[in-house]
Copies of this chain bind each other. A is one copy, B any other.
């Protein structure tokens, strides 16, 4: 109820501050007898890890995950899986400026307004470092989903917009996503994006991004009517990621401009005798329940407010001042958002799969 927990049946609780001794996640509700080892989780953490290119923060977090419970002889036991990542890169440093000043666009002001106390070191609990726990939980969710749905399962995210630059949708290539530091699916724009972001970085500025995530191999029937619609839960899960300001399903906000006959996805019978949709404006969800098509979500990340350019602000004593955020930072936080979006997709889908099993199977 304090907001540090995700999910209903598949659920996890994260804990930890950016510069505390460690951070972690306790994953619960996992079906028993699923093969699981630390390496299954580490591969996804490594994708999210900062410091891999000059376009992400140079903080060198090792992000080495340990499984502390819930796995016995290489298999899940059905009891809570506790994962911990120690913070190895907490330099004892002078936090002077952010200690008392509120960084505009950050949670500094609101945490103080809510709690009357704030762990200002590296953003404390509001740091994007918390997303390591999401990615770890997502890795476990994938393992379970793959047991359930087999090799048809495919969950991938790509960055489709970087500030004012777009991909060409016709050039989309999933293989490309892992081959550049932007999670960009269009090899034709990578060089341009590289120059663009280098400039942004040199100027001490930042830009936003849009991440698009696809999930294939999900059967029809996942989701629940009315308040826990599959798309509603996806919207919440994605909007809960740091810096996200918008979530769209399928065509998203573009549907407002469409006419009904353009937007309705016609249904036919495929060669295998099963229903086939001729288009996917709906993003694989109707009435909050999956159709069996690809589930498509678009997520917009704002540009980080940690800038070398001074921004007017106040301090906690009520004095006006300016702030410049020194140190290691991302010119585009959305880039590291891609693995997190994938993880949240996997977590939402697993949660709804378990819910569906409970009531309908």
Contact = CB atoms under 8 A, between A and B. Distances in A.
Contact of A267 (B130, B206, B240, B313): B313
Q: Interface size for chain A: under 10, 10 to 19, 20 to 34, or 35 or more residues?
A: 35 or more
A72 B117 contact: yes
B359 A29 contact: yes
Interface string A220-237: 111111111101111111
A266 interface: yes
Interface in A7-33: 8-9, 11, 13-17, 20-24, 26, 28-33
Interface string A157-201: 000010110000000000000000000000000000000000010
- Counting every copy of the chain, the complex holds 4
A170 B289 CA distance: 39
Interface string A245-288: 11111111111111111111111110001010010011101111
Interface string A93-126: 0000000001011110111011111110000111
A208 interface: yes
Contact of A286 (B105, B233, B262, B263): B105
Contact of A69 (B17, B249, B261, B314): B17
A300 interface: yes
Contacts of A163: 256-259
A120 to B, nearest CB: 9
Contacts of A287: 106-107, 110-111, 126, 242
A303 B253 CA distance: 11
Given A221-B114, A223-B114, A246 B240 contact: no
B227 A5 contact: yes
B257 A246 contact: no
**Interface centre among A15, A222, A314, A319, by most B CB within 10 Å?**
A15
Interface in A73-97: 75-82, 84
Contact of A17 (B21, B79, B224, B261): B79
5 contacts: A2-B29, A9-B358, A21-B69, A110-B221, A260-B303
Given A208-B256, A253-B300, A357-B357, 13 more contacts: A2-B224, A5-B13, A72-B117, A77-B118, A105-B264, A107-B288, A110-B223, A114-B360, A227-B240, A232-B240, A235-B238, A235-B247, A267-B312
